[in-house]
Amino acid sequence: MSRSPARPVVRLVALREDPLDVEEVLAALDDDAAGGLTLFVGRVRDHDGGKGVTGLEYSAHPSALDRLTEVCERVASDYDVHGVAAVHRTGTLAIGDAAVVIATTAAHRGEAFEASRALIDTLKAEVPIWKHQRFGDGTEEWVGAP
């Protein structure tokens, strides 16, 4: 394993109502030893299930930040990565807003791609963040709520 012992692998984990900044995530993972950096930005789209989406709100359970941290730490231990970052938005978002930004760095691209895929998929499956969508036809739905 080629990790630097001086720097933590999990470098940025946050839930916030403020707009997300891709540059913040990239800066947190800056590392001359990393040959690969993968970045995923999940954005609010204007449709879902054949309906037009007009906006949405994300709500997080009080345990969500701890769960997000656990997911990041698990990815850091399961993959040979140099850095892990995950930031998720809460509150009211508009079409086109970034809802989640995740990234990983590794010595090589393959490990970075695999770790990032595991990070976003596990985050979506395990972190208690719920989406309340509003549709153009006046209907609404909760996604991911228990």
pLDDT band at residue 1, thresholds of 50, 70 and 90?
very low
Look up residue 146 and give its two tokens.
């228990």
> In this predicted structure, what is the pLDDT of residue 6?
64
- Judge whether residue 142 has pLDDT over 70: yes
pLDDT digits (tens, 9 = 90+) for 73-82: 999 999 999 9
Average pLDDT over residues 114-118: 98
| Domains, the chain | 10-141 (3.90.1170.40)
pLDDT digits (tens, 9 = 90+) for 10-61: 999 999 999 999 999 999 999 999 999 999 999 999 999 899 999 999 999 9
- Judge whether residue 3 has pLDDT over 70: no
Q: What is the model's pTM?
A: 0.93
Burial class (CB in 10 A: 0-12, 13-18, 19+), 47: exposed
- Judge whether residue 135 has pLDDT over 50: yes
Residue ranges of alpha helices (H) inside the chain are: 22-28, 64-78, 109-126
Please state which of the ranges 46-50, 60-64, 104-108, 142-146 shows the lowest mean pLDDT. Answer: 142-146
The three-class DSSP label of residue 50 is: coil
